[in-house]
Chain A
Amino acid sequence: MQDPDQQLISKAKEGNQDGYAKLVKKYYEMVFTVAYGVLNRREDAQDAAQEVFLKVFNQINNFEEKSKFKTWLYRIAVNDAIDIARRRKPMEPEEKINTVAASLPKPDAKVLQDETNEMVRSALDSLSPEHRAILVLREWDDLSYEEIASMLNLDLGTVMSRIFYARKSLGKILTPNFGKRS
């Protein structure tokens, strides 16, 4: 099947800056969300996404076009994000970072949203980068188990058991909290 990005890729390979800029604009959200899903911090995800685009730009001539550009980019993004997460120092608890911000009065809806975000963030922090990667690919990007297995070089059984474990861990924290609220 023809890659919808074929023209832009050819331009980028010829060194056309505008061609690559269009690819970055098109896929920035996808790469960022994968990085954010794995790294679970905005600044880290932003750095990782930008590193991925710079790396891909420098290696664009190595792209053999055996798969779609989107798949190739996805694979690089998710694997790089996992590598960064493994190298990263242990994070400070969010409570410490947000002490000052938390003390300021906020509207109810904002408080609720912040609380929910914190809860999801800490639930995700309890997972490994590999589990978070599978979760974002499955729950956000709607990829099939087969696609995830191919992207991460895992067998299907491992993907299924990891997604099961990740959902269960998330549910352990989210369900009781939201259950109390409703």
Chain B
Amino acid sequence: MTKNTNREEKDFNREIYKIYIQNEISHPEFVQNRDRFIKIHWDDKKRFIFPAFPAFGFSLPVFILIALLAAYVFRVPAKTSKAPPPEIGDVLTNGVSPYKIHENNVSVMRVSSKAGPTMVYQKMYDDVPLTIVWVFPGEIN
């Protein structure tokens, strides 16, 4: 009889204890806190702007950074659309170049022109030259 009573008491107290713990994990904040914690520390999605293309999500900020750098370096925009197209003779009339860079088959030259300051970029591809000419109209050297 006493043994049974003790067992009943033990079981009863055990049940009360289990309810006490259960109440805590049934608390509505419990799941919210868990999910917030996981999201803060281990949610891959938050790391990328484009979850389906994580590499693109990473490359976009790099692209923006390069664009900003380029904008900073070339602060004077090339107004090619508004300027009258210079004649070849006008652009490269004077071979005198204040500076010239030669490296890896690439040469960058600054030349004088009636149209304005002009930059020439040349790269040799298997003896075929690629030439790009930038003209900054209106600015006289």
Q: Do A and B come from one complex?
A: yes
| Residues of chain A contacted by B10 (CB below 8 angstroms) | 167, 171
- Flag if A54 contacts B21 (CB, 8 Å): no
Q: Mark B8-27, 1 if CB is under 8 A from A, else 0.
A: 01101110111111011101
Interface size of B by CB at 8 A reads 24
Chain A contributes a number of interface residues (CB within 8 A of B) equal to: 34
Question: Does A175 lie within 8 Å of B9, measured CB to CB?
Answer: yes
User: What is the 8 Å Cβ interface bit string for chain A, positions 22-59, against chain B (1 contact, 0 not)?
Assistant: 00110011001100110000100110001001100100
Task: Contact check, A120 vs B42: say whether CB atoms are below 8 A apart.
Answer: no
The contact of A174 among B16, B24, B38, B44, by CB within 8 Å, is: B16
A170, CB-defined interface residue at 8 Å: yes
A134 CA to B9 CA in the complex, in Å? 19
Q: How far is the CA of A117 from the CA of B17 in the complex (A)?
A: 9
For B19, give its contact among A24, A33, A36, A116 (CB under 8 Å). Answer: A116
Contact B17 A139 (CB under 8 A): yes
Does A54 lie within 8 Å of B41, measured CB to CB? yes
**Do B44 and A18 touch (CB < 8 A)?**
yes
Contact of A33 (CB < 8 Å), options: B13, B25, B44:
B25
Chain A facing B: main interface SS: helix
On chain A, the residues within 8 Å of B30 by CB distance are 29, 32
Do B34 and A120 touch across chains, with their CB atoms under 8 A apart? Answer: no
Q: Most chain-B Cβ atoms within 10 A of its Cβ — which of A17, A18, A36, A116?
A: A17
> Contact residues of A with B, CB < 8 Å?
17-18, 20-21, 24-25, 28-29, 32-33, 36-37, 42, 45-46, 50, 53-54, 57, 113, 116-117, 120-121, 135-136, 139-140, 167, 170-171, 174-175, 178
